[in-house]
Amino acid sequence: MTSINLADRAVDLGEWAAATPQAADEFAAAVRTWLADNLVGEFADLKGRGGPGSEHEFFERRLAWDRHLAAAGWTCLGWPTRHGGRGATLEQRIIFHREYARANAPARVNHLGEELLGPTLIEFGTEEQKQRFLPGIVDVTELWAQGYSEPGAGSDLAGVSTTARLDDDTWIINGQKIWTSLAHVAQWVFVIARTEPGSTRHAGLSFLLVPLDQPGITVRPIQQLTGTSEFNEVFFDDAATDADLIVGQPGEGWKVAMGLLQFERGVSTLGQQVGFARELDNLVEVAKGTGAIDDPEIASRLARAGIGLNVMRAHAQRTLDRDVTSQAGAASVSKLLWANWHRDLGELAMDVVGAPSLIGPDTTVEGQVNDITDPEHVELDDWQRLFLFTRADTIYGGSNEVQRNIIAERVLGLPREAR
């Protein structure tokens, strides 16, 4: 694919953003029309494909779809136009995510770059870093992975032990990261490493940008309950990256990492909730078809799921409107709400489907991107995959226990947990 001219794109889309604001319904109609006109032909059967637990599905074709979005100016909507974004308002970004989810468009492959690293570089990076990396995120020619969790420090980011030392003009990195989503298809990884010997906890950490295709890095996919492998463990054995590929100053890694996590739980969560609503609606239809809806307990659990979805939506709106005491606390509440709700929906789905939920169809995975998973394994149906993968929802991205500690200690001011 020919690389997008970001300067031209910024001018065109900048004029669009600076014009008299379109009414919300007009903008929504424009998004709907474009999606309807483009989710056809080679992209038609990508609807509903991909996402957590299903990242193996049609990966290369979903990558082509992301690049198609980029060419039309639908990536990095909220970024400033000078960095290749669309300069969209908060309302427009919410509308886009909502309409994208309603169209059942395929899961994006560039989330870590577009929603996490890009905004972090815009906030904390040097001009040279922005010029080097932002264009590849906008046109989806470079994919990113996140090197945070470690075997001994899963949700406790301050406990990382991966080290990096500066040797002339190069950082030399040693250690291991785990649960690294999509590292096997990414070209780069942003890494939190300890750069000050003898430092502990939040001090002495740095945020580094590291190329994955080098002799000092080994990426090993981890097979999941679903039989697929979108998480990985990544080993750094004297891996190298240039001295100027540090975001912020040495020792400021914690500040940069926390800034990134705020971006992680932003506008895109509203689109996520539209997907959740579709799952719930589909499950209600299954319950009607199987007769499970006539069970008072099942009916009550479905009703409670609907209430929980409304609570999530209200919290997200308050957070985006900054109508909260602590943004850190709001992000933790958001994670607790959606992770536990989604896990419970998976359990409810098994009860609604009943005995057939224990039997899988005799098919194989199509579009698998990694070669460590047995290509002959039995594929799961949507409800089985939902149940199995959502067991991890309350762990990845910060476990329930860590989120509750954040709320207790940083928001409510309760005594710190004994270590």
Active site residues: 264
CA 382, CA 337: separation in Å to the nearest integer? 22
Measured N-to-C along each axis, helices 327-353 and 253-264 cross at an angle, to the nearest 10 degrees, of 50
Torsion sign (Cα): 411, 412, 413, 415: negative
Residue 87: CB atoms within 10 A of its CB come to 20
- Taken as a whole, the chain contains a residue count of 419
Which element (helix H / strand E) includes 151? none
Question: Mapping DSSP to helix (H, G, I), strand (E, B) and coil, where does residue 126 land?
Answer: coil
Token pair listed for 27? 């903008």
Number of H helices, E strands in the chain: 13, 8
Q: Which amino acid is at 151?
A: P
Q: For 319, left (φ over 0), alpha (ψ -120 to 50), or beta?
A: alpha
Closest CA to 162 of 215, 116, 208, 229: 208
Q: Is 18 exposed, middle or buried (0-12, 13-18, 19+ CB in 10 A)?
A: exposed
Measured N-to-C along each axis, helices 24-38 and 90-102 cross at an angle, to the nearest 10 degrees, of 40
Residue 272: CB atoms within 10 A of its CB come to 18
Closest CA to 262 of 108, 83, 123: 123
CA 386, CA 304: separation in Å to the nearest integer? 18
Measured N-to-C along each axis, helices 90-102 and 268-290 cross at an angle, to the nearest 10 degrees, of 30
Token pair listed for 361? 């169809």
Closest CA to 321 of 54, 94, 143: 94
Q: Which residue has the tokens 């639908």?
A: 74
CA 136, CA 4: separation in Å to the nearest integer? 9
CA 390, CA 124: separation in Å to the nearest integer? 33
